[in-house]
Amino acid sequence: MSEVIYVTVEGLQKLKEDLDQLRNVERPSISRQIADARDKGDLSENAEYSAAKEAQGMLEMKISKLEDIVARSRIIDESKIDTSSIRILNKVKIRNQTNNTIMEYQLVPESEANFKLGKIAVSSPIAQGLIGKKVGDVVQIKVPSGIIHFEVISISH
């Protein structure tokens, strides 16, 4: 799992905030729950203790995973993004040639994808079909409902 993960400055900041929350708020809370359950006596039949220990294991796994992601993250310099062809962090305006609908998306790392905000993961089928294309190109993209033809209208950042 030594693959580099590209993120924006905001994306890395959010990951670090999440990690800080897990380490400094949730970890002490679960420790208190375990201590409270331990004080209630016999641990072999103590459901609270078992649940708290299981929650602690899950939390430590989350912390470990986030630490790994943060360690492998590299910030993308948005000022050096090329707009001659579609790349990660580009904003792309495309037209569906079937129904003439115009859509605008920004291609972002998976950790920052939010479809409601028009941010699609660079690994999504639409993004994969658009990578490397230029303004005026028509692309065929296979989506679950079939093949859609899109025309690239503009590329910006």
**Tens of pLDDT along 97-136?**
989 999 999 998 888 889 899 999 988 999 999 999 999 9
Q: What are phi and psi of 74, to 5 degrees?
A: -130, 135
Are 109 and 9 spatial neighbours (Cβ–Cβ below 8 Å)? no
CATH number for the domain spanning 60: value is 1.10.287.180
75, 108, 130 - which closes a domain: 75
Whether residue 150 sits in one domain with residue 92: yes
CA gap 51, 153 in Å, rounded: 54
> Which residue segment(s) compose the domain that 125 sits in?
79-156
CA 25, 10, 77, 139 torsion: positive or negative? Answer: positive
Assign 2 a pLDDT band (cuts: 50, 70, 90).
low
pTM metric for this prediction: 0.64
Do 71 and 113 lie in a common domain? no
Q: Is the pLDDT of residue 52 over 80?
A: yes
Instruction: Give, for 128, the enclosing helix (H) or strand (E).
Output: helix 125-130
Structure tokens at 141: 């993209």
What pLDDT is attached to residue 150? 94
